[in-house]
Structure 1
Amino acid sequence: MTIARALDADQRADALEQLGAGELDVLVVGGGIVGVGAALDAVTRGLRVGLVEQRDLASGTSSRSSKLVHGGLRYLEMFDFALVKEALEERGLLLTRLAPHLVRPVPFLYPLQHAWERPYVGAGVALYDGMAMTGKYDMGVPKHKHIFRKQLARMAPDIRTDDLHGAIRYYDCQVDDARLVMTIARTAANNGAHVATRTKVTAFLREGDRVVGARVRDLEGDRDIEVRAKVVINAAGVWTDEVQDLIGGQAQLDVDASKGIHIVVPKDRIRSECGFITKTEKSVLFVIPWDQFWIIGTTDTPWDLDLAHPAASRADIDYVLGHVNRLLKDPLDQRDVVGVYAGLRPLLKPMRKEGEMGETTKLSREHTVANPVPGLVLVAGGKLTTYRVMARDAVDHALSRSEGAFDPIPQSITDRVPLMGAWGFEARSNQRVALSRSSGIDIGMVDHLLGRYGGLVDEVLALVHERPDLAEPLPGAEHYLQVEVLYAVTHEGARHLDDVLARRTRVSIETFDRGIAAARPAAELMAEALGWDGAQLEDEVDHYLRRVEAERQSQLMPTDQEADEARVKAPDIV
């Protein structure tokens, strides 16, 4: 049985104590994909590492992506070959070595609108596959294939084929982005990193010009802690400018927030064996298989309003529906939409005058690492797929500018450190029938658990063994088991109802009521583990219901400004 350190209340308390005791080698600010990646990179080099996040793990951009691990096929058109090759290598590494339990191949169709597109697109996809095959790691997915009109009609009966010249099928990968972040954070903690969520940086500690740590606020314990560190790495994404303000505005990076929204519709509304991708006038539209659903997106528009809760407007949703309906025989409408989510991409931009907003689609997805003052490193830009490279570069940069504090500089080994759950995944998958029999859980649900926990399914089933009632479906969200809610609290760092329904599970976007019916049953399961009294339980449920209502209202508004005003009426619970 796999035994691993849990992210639970005791771990958080211990992390806060350790953060205030002695000096860290590296303090990471930000619990998104790059921040947790940096924490794992640093701690596996043998360094003493802390990570603080003001909200929940992946509570920002890193839970609101297209959930793809991909090379970025469209960047070939921009001749950004180095970026594509790097991303394809990371795709293969995640799929075959680091996180085979979380990352899985997904086929896409690229519909051909004109006859001349077949050689043009075909050459691009062939180059895409060629780069993956000649990379440092296994490709891990099948090669592309040319599809003609009759084949396309059989593979995707609901796609309008009359005006198409067939398609090209190729493969990329997908992942539950929030689970990937949590798993990396737990892997870092299991290797010795001190991880504390709901902990906000309020100031940087200075000795002369040098940053020597940070003052952080434990938002749940209502206390301040001084954390000393040889180097601080800021991986705050779209909050980079706010963090730079804490050092007196000595900015070296300028980051634009670009809003991308996605809608979720039931799987039976689009009959297709594959996802598909098509270009729009502003971006690329993906239709992505997602268990019992399709995720459809995205948009790419400037956003200068609330960073914590970007809102999808009615115009955003209509834009996505309008473009996907160009490909469908039976158009989708608002009644088909199960869930909606909006996220912000942190895009690097040229430094310019305050107040100017530029075209976000033309900004770079590549990352940059900067050192605005001694002792502080900023990393921004990039994409989900290349988080490990960004994290490695940030740690390398931080250690190389530490004035000899690390000599020699230990090397990164994260390309050889599988994430928790990877070990034992193949064996447990091969034992799926036996696991079903011994646990009494339907084999389809065992597959569901394996795809979320990998080898750590042993820990989940141990809870079921102690309490067989936890094997029952979660009321209001029957595609999850009650044990998954409890496990999110006891092992995965969930502190609030929103953490569970929006990130540890995807109930908030996978049920027509956005998780309202599941809120109270989930809160009651969490209350047992977190020691909530009746009043706190009611507060958690009330907050979640208000959040859902605020999101629904925002999605009825015609403009970003009005959508933002509706959404911010339900702030985070503390």
Structure 2
Amino acid sequence: MPPGETDRARLSPERRRVDRARLADEVVDVLVIGGGVTGAGAALDAASRGLSVGLLEARDWAAGTSSRSSTLIHGGLRPLEQFAVPLVHEALSERSRLIRTIAPHLVHPLPFLLPLTARIWQRAWFGAALGLYDALGAASIAGRGAGGRATGGRGMPWHRHLSRKQALAAFPGLRGDVVRGGIQYWDAQVDDARHTLAVVRTAAGYGARALSSARVTGLLRDGGGPDSAVVGARVADLTDGSSFAVRARSVVAATGVWSDDVGAMLGESAPTPTVRAAKGVHLVVPRSAIGGPVLEGAAGSPSGLVLRTPAGVLFVIPWDEHWIIGTTDTPWRRDRDHPAASSADIAHLLDHVNRVLIRPLGTDDVLGVYAGLRPLPAGEFDHTSRLSRQRAVVTPVPGLVLVAGGEYTTYRVLAEDAVDAAVAGLPGVPPSRTAHLPLVGAHRWDDVRDRAAELSAGSGVPGEAVVRLLRRHGDRIGDVLALARSDPALARPLPGAPGYLAAEVVHAVTAEGALHLDDVLARRTRVSIETAHRGVESAPEVARLMASALGWDGERTAREVQHYTARVAAEREAQRLPDDHTADAARLGAPEVRARV
């Protein structure tokens, strides 16, 4: 069995205790700060090269930007229009790797319909752009494979032009007086939170010592001078309030919008890149809110929409029985842990999408709202949309590598660059392996992907639930089904969230590192954005299941539910307020469940 796929990939409570003790005693080759997708990718890159690795995250895996994306794996039409062809080609190469090798259970092709509102020039312009997009995507596959061998196999379908009648037939929810035609093209979608978790677990399978709820409070230096090397970090364990130090030969800080905090730990001894935060808000609405059947691809995937706006593009993306609508792109200078969506953000999204829909969406249609912050290195451009593809890997002092910017799609490339910089002084380190490395759940995906009926019959779990489990857990679905077989109560759906099983909660704690109620409802599952109650109705039962696995007493269990309920109430209040200032103040009314340090 491959190293990244063994039981070493289980992030159990016992595994955390062991990793915590060993990190305090060892000197690791690479210490990574930040448990988003880039930090997780760096930990996997280093561990799979045979290096000893520590990975620290202040909250939960993917708790920041990496669980609040548009869920797209794409090259991007906007950078193509800006003639950033090398960046688009790089992203499309990563898209191909993710779909074919790295995470085929979590990343899947998705068709999009680009409605045309002008008769001639849009078809010519966008048709030419999508022709180049398809050609770059095909070039990303041809001649590339493990060891440089040709990969073969199926690529993405090429775009096709639709008449006005065909576009309206494909997506009857569109207004006939607005749409003049359409173009269908293909990209890909990811469950971002579960993908980041899979990267962390795979790194753990290769020996990385991974701790969430472990906040870095300072850097260790080997002297007092401004150019003294970084040799580790001081850490606060937020599970028990203790502190410890981790010594390392090199430190990689992949902290996203918190990058400036790491730079501040150096004092004024070295220049570091300044990072700006851009807020992106998404809405989640029921599939029924946008009426009519939709265009389907070869795998039966419902089509998304991509709409042009004065500021760029707006996506309407299918998400199980829902649509995700997003995103905004505005500067954010307030609380970075919990960016707040305001009523102005919601109105902005509804206004733009309603311009092309027969049945306008209202606030009553919105089930969930989430806001994330994109880390953008401040530099030559003023508008955040022009900064979106900028990234930096710098070494301000010996022993410290700072990573800033980047896109979710190209996380692996950025992580590879960061590790290359971190190990530049270490002899005999092999090159990166991650371009051809399957994540946990992907090794035997082809063997299980079409076995839902068989797995259902053997486990007693309904077939529809098994299909959903396959898309969340891949070839590790047996771990969840085994729990359901061991206790029939765990085969039941969660209260208020029929798309999720009780067994998934237990698995989240025993194998996926969940430590708090929010970790399960917001990231191991998406109950927090997929239900009208936003997880409140599910919270007591989920907390009860977690209490059994984590040893919580009645007081601790009640406190977790109280914190989660307060969080939802604060978010709802923020979304009723008119601007960032008032929305941020309301959101801060709910305290963080993890200890403040």
TM over 0.5: yes
Shift of 1:283: 2.9
CA offset digits 1:389-437 (Å, max 9, x no partner): 000000001111x3xxx11332100012100100222211232211111
Q: What corresponds to 1:292 in structure 2?
A: 321
Aligned to 1:102: 106
2:192 is equivalent to residue 177 of structure 1: yes
Which aligned pairs between 1:114-263 and structure 2 lie closer than 5 A?
114-115=118-119, 116-136=121-141, 137=144, 140-208=155-223, 209-249=228-268, 250-263=270-283
The Cα RMSD (Å) is: 1.3
Q: Which residue of 1 aligns with 2:299?
A: none
Structure 1, 318-327 or 220-229: larger mean CA deviation: 220-229
- Letter of the structure 2 residue corresponding to residue 379 of structure 1: V
- Please give the alpha-carbon distance, in whole angstroms, between the structure 1 residues aligned to 2:245 and 2:435: 33
Matched with 2:148 is none
Give the Cα separation in 2 of the matches to 1:29 and 1:434.
42
Aligned-partner residue type, residue 267 of structure 2: G
Gaps of 5+ in 2: 145-150, 296-302
The reply to whether residue 93 of structure 1 matches residue 73 of structure 2 is no
Match of 1:55 in 2: 59
| Structure 2 residue 346 is the aligned partner of structure 1 residue 328 | no
The alpha carbon displacement at 1:281 in A equals: 1.5
Distance 2:517 2:472 in 1: 19
SS at match of 1:305: coil
1:202 partner letter: T
* SS class of match (1:74): helix
1:348–1:365 CA contact under 8 A, matched in 2: no
> Is 2:40 the counterpart of 1:25?
no
Which of 402, 405, 408 matches 1:384?
408
- Report the Cα distance in structure 2 between the residues aligned to 1:344 and 1:440, rounded to whole angstroms: 41
TM-superposed CA distance for 1:326, in Å, is: 0.3
Aligned to 2:449: 429
Unaligned residue ranges in structure 1 (runs of 5+): 353-357
Deviation at 1:364, TM superposition (A): 4.1
Query: d(CA) in 2 for partners of 1:213 and 1:140?
Result: 44
Q: Contact 2:178/2:356 (CA < 8 Å) preserved in 1?
A: no
Q: 1:482 aligns with which of 480, 483, 502?
A: 502
Residues of 2 paired with 1:260 and 1:318: CA distance? 14
Find the partner of 1:418 among 410, 424, 438. Answer: 438
Query: Which residue in the other structure is 1:541 paired with?
Result: 561
Q: Output one character per residue of 1:533-563: Cα deviation in whole Å (capped at 9) or x when no partner.
A: 0000000000000000000000001010000
Distance 1:559 1:285 in 2: 21
2: CA distance between counterparts of 1:312 and 1:413? 39
Give me the whole-angstrom Cα distance separating, in 1, the residues matched to 2:305 and 2:184: 9
Structure 1: how far apart are the matches of 2:509 and 2:248?
Answer: 29
Per the TM alignment, residue 22 of structure 1 is displaced from its structure 2 partner at its CA by: 2.2
Amino acid at match of 1:135: S
> For structure 1, which segment, 310-319 or 281-290, has the greater mean C-alpha deviation from structure 2 after superposition?
281-290
> Which residue number in structure 1 is paired with residue 427 of structure 2?
407
Which residue number corresponds to residue 522 of structure 2?
Answer: 502
The amino acid that maps onto 1:560 is D
Select which of 5, 9, 13 maps to 2:13.
Answer: 9
Alignment of 1:455-470 (within 5 A): 455-470=475-490
Alignment correspondent of 1:355: none
Runs of 4+ displaced beyond 6 Å: none
Hey, what's the Cα distance between the residues in 2 that align with 1:463 and 1:424?
20
- Following superposition, the deviation at residue 351 of structure 1 comes to 8.2
1:35 Cα deviation after fit = 0.2
- CA drift of 1:3 comes to 4.7
Matched, 1:314 2:329: no
After superposition, the C-alpha distances for 1:182-224 in whole angstroms (9 at most, x for unaligned) are 0000000011000000001111110121100011111112111
CA contact (8 A) 1:31 1:57 kept: yes
CA distance in 2, matches of 1:522, 1:143: 44
Q: Decide which moves more: 288-297 or 17-26.
A: 17-26
Q: Is the 8 A contact 2:137 2:156 kept in 1?
A: no
* Secondary structure of the structure 2 residue equivalent to 1:539: helix
C-alpha change, 1:295 and 1:216, in structure 2 (3 Å) is same
Q: Which residue of 1 aligns with 2:466?
A: 446
Number of positions where the alignment pairs a residue of Structure 1 with one of Structure 2: 565
Q: C-alpha distance in 1, partners of 2:261/2:391?
A: 18
Query: Which residue of structure 1 aligns with residue 370 of structure 2?
Result: 341
Q: Residue deviations 1:132-154, cap 9 Å, x none? A: 10114567322111111111111
CA distance in 2, matches of 1:432, 1:220: 38
TM-score, normalised to structure 1's length?
0.97
TM-score normalised to structure 2 length: 0.93
